[in-house]
Amino acid sequence: MELPALTVSQRRAAAALVLLAVVLVLAARHLHGARGAAPAVPLVTVPRARSPVARQVVVDVVGAVRRPGLYKLREGTRIADAVERAGGATRKADLAQVNLAAPLADGEQVVVAARGAAGAAAGTSAPGSAGSSPGAPVDLNSASAEQLDSLPGVGPATAAKIIAFRQEHGAFHSLAELDAVPGIGPARLEQLKGLVVPS
């Protein structure tokens, strides 16, 4: 059976119908897929992990170093780092008496003793040295905070003031100079007579 020939306008109409049918099928698929699709999940950005902040310790470096004082150092550093931060040891320093490999603790006092200084070695004592027998006087210029704290009428706060005064103004030359330290008056000086001496 022979089909009748289509005119140009009929061909155009047929092509338009086919095109319309394809568009309708695609639109129906799109609408049906959108209804059943899962809701879009918002994109969550995860903040970058910050590198941990290095904790610090504060130590008091005293004795035979070039720049005694308080220093902030990274946690986990050693006594050698504290001595280096204080300008290094002086020529008079007896580094054999210091464990340079020991780790630092917050609030610690690092004492670098001078060669021949009384009471420099742990466990030994010399007359007139800090930390010697109970009857021996404490040396004001080399005593640690703990040694000063053990004196009658001197607590941790006053011991810290004595050390700060010593670092700021230099060595004590007489017991009377203690009167310039806040918290120590004539009555306290009288208590300390014979218990402390300037070196």
Q: What is the DSSP letter of 89?
A: B
Can you point out the beta strands (E) in the chain? 56-63, 69-74, 109-112, 138-139, 196-197
State both tokens at 133. Answer: 């027998």
* 155 close to 146: Cβ distance less than 8 angstroms: no
* pLDDT for the residue 101: 87
* pLDDT for the residue 71: 93
* pLDDT for the residue 193: 80
* pLDDT for the residue 134: 42
* pLDDT for the residue 40: 61
Helix and strand numbers, DSSP H then E, in the chain: 5, 5
Interstrand relation of 56-63 and 109-112 (parallel, antiparallel or unpaired):
parallel
Burial 45-62 (b: 16+ CB within 10 A, else e): eeeeeeeeeeeebebbbb
| Alpha-carbon span 192 to 159, nearest angstrom | 13
Which domains, from first to last, does the chain contain?
A: 54-115 (3.10.20.600), 125-199 (1.10.150.320)
* pLDDT for the residue 16: 83
The verdict on pTM exceeding 0.75 is: no
Query: On the CB side of 100, how many CA atoms lie within 13 Å of its CA?
Result: 12
* pLDDT for the residue 199: 64
Which residues pair with residue 121 across a beta bridge? none
Q: Can you give the pLDDT of all 199 residues of the chain as single tens digits? A: 555 666 777 888 888 888 888 888 888 777 766 555 556 666 666 677 666 667 898 988 988 899 998 999 998 899 999 999 999 999 888 888 888 988 888 888 888 888 876 544 333 233 333 333 345 678 888 888 888 888 777 888 888 888 888 888 888 888 888 888 887 878 788 878 878 887 6
- Residue 130 burial by Cβ neighbours in a 10 Å radius (0-12, 13-18, 19+): buried
* pLDDT for the residue 126: 31
* pLDDT for the residue 132: 37
* pLDDT for the residue 84: 94
The SS3 call for residue 152 is: coil
* pLDDT for the residue 125: 31
* pLDDT for the residue 177: 85
Residue 96: phi and psi, rounded to 5, are: -65, -20
